[in-house]
Amino acid sequence: MDDARGFVPDVAIRCREFRIGCVGAGFIMADIHLAAYADAGFPVVAIASRTEAKAAEVARRWNIPRVHATPEALIEDSSVEILDLAFPPDQQPALIRHALRQPHIKAILAQKPLAMDFAEAKQLVADAHAAGKVLSVNQNMRFDQSMRVLRQILDQGALGDAVLATIEMRAIPHWQPFLRDYDRLTLLNMGIHHLDVLRFLFGDPTEIYTAARRDPRTEFAHTDGIAVSTLKFPGGCLAVSMEDVWSGPREDGFKSDTYIKWRVEGTQGVAQGTIGWPDYPAGSPSTLRYASTTHTGGEWVQPTWQTMWFPHAFRGVMEQLQYAVKTGERPLLHGDDNVKTMALVEAAYRSLREHRPVLLAEFGV
């Protein structure tokens, strides 16, 4: 990293001793989770998916010693200490509850979204508490390098009081086939990254107002294709999150650009940057530059790093859970915290449905 100010864009690996069993063999597991785990040296001992042949193929690729015929069989494998789920959110709760009944399972890393709605997510977290297990949710954008360094800049007070924050996404996600069966699309599966990271940066908002329309290119039925949300925070900060999954016609010969940009304006400085994810699979690091009247003499400073959100941020996601199991400390991505993100998503859908700002207090969080 090219910077003299002590920023830490990536976590140090403090623990890698607990054995991981992976459920799921699609892109996010096969290309991202397992790449990050191999790089960090986390021990993966078993894998399962909806089809045993697909799990076996991924096991060969990553030298995973054991393949189970079903997710349930993997969960019952006594060698598995941390369950890592990458499964559709309508099917994930049943697997979580099955894992909570297994004495050998110490912790669960669930995929985001934790469930299809706030009520189910809240119940899952309560179930984990009752079982005495650690439930963590893979809100991996908190470990994007630019978001981590931005949080450190905010913690230093270099920007003063936050006034306005924006996240602008103009990129086309690869919607997983199972999303065709849901009415909820962008807010639950893409916007949730941005809503969660705004909580990470600025704390819990008091209200949200969301407007949305269908994506004219997405052929299956959905309510929220292109979405814009405005959040208000207790200190007066406003934040806007825009998910434009249309991003132009995208026809052959049409040279549209794609990106995710963010900006934070404060009383004593400004920070702005980009998220590298739209470049995947070629990949590029996220970026950040900032200027502060108190910390940089008003000059722009641009720390740099070589790591990327995909896959390197996923090392931090598993590390925070490994360390929590070892020490008993609360992980950053604890289920209790994720319930508040799920409440924010639910509030966005209520706002969309009722055409009004929605207070987070309506959800008791």
pTM of the entire predicted model: 0.97
Same domain, 298 and 271: yes
Mean of pLDDT values over 209-236:
96
Percent of the chain surpassing pLDDT 90: 91
Residues 88 and 233 in one domain: no
- Indicate the length of the chain as a whole number: 365
Distance CA 342, CA 344 (A): 5
Could you give phi then psi for residue 226, rounded to 5 degrees? -105, 125
CB distance 100 to 47 below 8 Å: no
Residues 153, 163: one domain?
Answer: yes
276 with 323, same domain: the answer is: no
- 14 lies in some domain: no
Residue 215 lies in a domain: yes
Domain of 298, CATH number, reads 3.30.360.10
Residues 219 and 87 in one domain: no
Residues 241, 352: one domain? Answer: yes
pLDDT at 4: 52
What average pLDDT does this structure show over 7-18?
A: 98
What is the rounded average pLDDT of the residues 47-68? 98
pLDDT tens, residue by residue, 76-131: 999 999 999 999 999 999 999 999 999 999 999 999 999 999 999 999 999 999 99
Residue 326 belongs to a domain with what CATH number? 3.40.50.720
**Residue 93 shares a structural domain with residue 145:** no
Residue type, 61: R
DSSP 3-state assignment of 296? Answer: coil
Q: Do 265 and 290 fall into the same domain?
A: yes
Task: Judge contact between 242 and 168, C-beta under 8 A.
Answer: yes
199 and 218 part of one domain: yes
Determine the average pLDDT of the residues in 280-293: 93
CB 100 within 8 A of CB 133: yes
* Structural domain includes residue 51: yes
Which pLDDT does position 248 carry in this prediction?
Answer: 86
Looking at the structure, tell me whether residues 152 and 132 fall in a common domain: no
Q: What is the mean pLDDT of the chain?
A: 96
Region 336-345 average pLDDT: 98
Q: Would you tell me how many other CB atoms lie within 10 Å of the CB of residue 155?
A: 9
- Position 4 in a domain: no
What are the tokens at 107? 């912790």
Q: Which residue has the tokens 């929590």?
A: 324
Question: Is residue 24 domain-resident?
Answer: yes
Quick one: pLDDT at residue 250? 75
Domain carrying residue 211: 141-314+342-363
In a domain, 1, yes or no: no
Judged against a pLDDT cut of 90, whether residue 343 lies above it is answered with: yes
Backbone angles phi, psi at 117, to 5 degrees: -150, 170
**107 and 160 together in one domain:** no
Encode pLDDT of 149-198 as tens digits: 999 999 999 999 999 999 999 998 888 889 999 999 999 999 999 999 99
Pairing type for strands 358-359 and 207-213 reads antiparallel
Cβ atoms of 92 and 115 closer than 8 Å: yes
- Residue the block writes with tokens 């009081």: 161
Look at the chain and report how many structural domains it folds into.
Answer: 2
- The residue that leads in pLDDT, 365 or 118, is 118
The token duo for 140 is 């991996």
Please tell me whether residues 154 and 280 are part of one structural domain. Answer: yes
54 vs 68, 79, 262, CA distance in Å?
11, 21, 37
In a domain, 47, yes or no: yes
Does residue 351 lie within any of the structural domains?
yes
Count CB atoms within 10 A of the CB of residue 19.
16
